[in-house]
Amino acid sequence: PPYPVTWLTPAPTPIYIAVTLQNNALLPANIAQLVQAAALATFSGNDAAGSVPAGIGLTISGSRYVPQINLIGPAVNIVSIMVALQVAVLSEHVGTGDGATVTFTHTIGSVPVVPGSVVVLAPGVTAADDGNGNITGPGVASGTVNYASGVLNITYSVAPVNTAAITVTYNYANPVGGIVTMGVDQMPTLAAASVVTALV
């Protein structure tokens, strides 16, 4: 007899990790990159503690990332490690071309914005952020985005045509706790740009 077989393919679910460290003069100049590497090692199970890789149905706890980040050096003092799921926003309105205006300013509606997730679209022109707050692309003279405030500025080399819609897509995350639990339909993913370090 025939037996129907079904399965569920989990959707890739981006994770956001916000690390806050006590600021001091002994921290390496590249501390943000070192924290990113430490977090990625723990996330994938390649850290010194041999952590279980993040996966479907598992809990992702900020405290699990403490040992590997502490290994960066004795100057590292962790204030907090918060985790969150990212939320994608598609086609948020930035402005409308009039054939003359080249510079547009917009405040993104949901913050903090995840570095490396911003894409600004106008007819024939696609621009993206570089993870450091700069928006670049063919046809773009200059552009910036402030991930914390959401303020976005973009200047085109040629003014978008009249009535042309200018939109932005991005991810945001609001980490308010140290734990997130993945569902059975969620496969966690982590990019280096989604590990953000703040010094206080």
Yes or no: say if 13 and 186 are a contact pair by the CB < 8 Å rule: yes
Exposure class string for 37-46: b at 16+ Cβ within 10 A, else e = ebbbbbbeee
Chain centroid to Cα 126, Å, comes to 19
Query: Digits of tens for pLDDT over the chain (200 positions)?
Result: 898 988 778 889 999 999 999 999 999 999 999 999 999 999 999 999 899 999 999 999 999 999 999 999 999 999 999 999 999 999 999 999 999 999 999 999 999 999 999 999 999 999 999 988 999 999 999 999 999 999 999 999 999 999 999 999 999 998 889 999 999 899 999 999 899 999 99
Question: For position 174, what pLDDT does the model report?
Answer: 87
CA distance 119 to 19: 25
CA distance 8 to 86: 21
Strands (E), the chain: 11-21, 59-61, 78-85, 87-96, 103-107, 119-122, 125-129, 135-136, 140-145, 151-156, 165-172, 179-181, 186-189, 195-199
Yes or no: say if 168 and 121 are a contact pair by the CB < 8 Å rule: yes
Question: For position 1, what pLDDT does the model report?
Answer: 87
Phi, psi (rounded to 5 degrees) for 108: -60, 140
* Surface-to-core class of residue 130, CB atoms within 10 Å of its CB (0-12 exposed, 13-18 middle, 19+ buried): middle
Angle at 193 between CA 189 and CA 199, to 5 degrees: 120
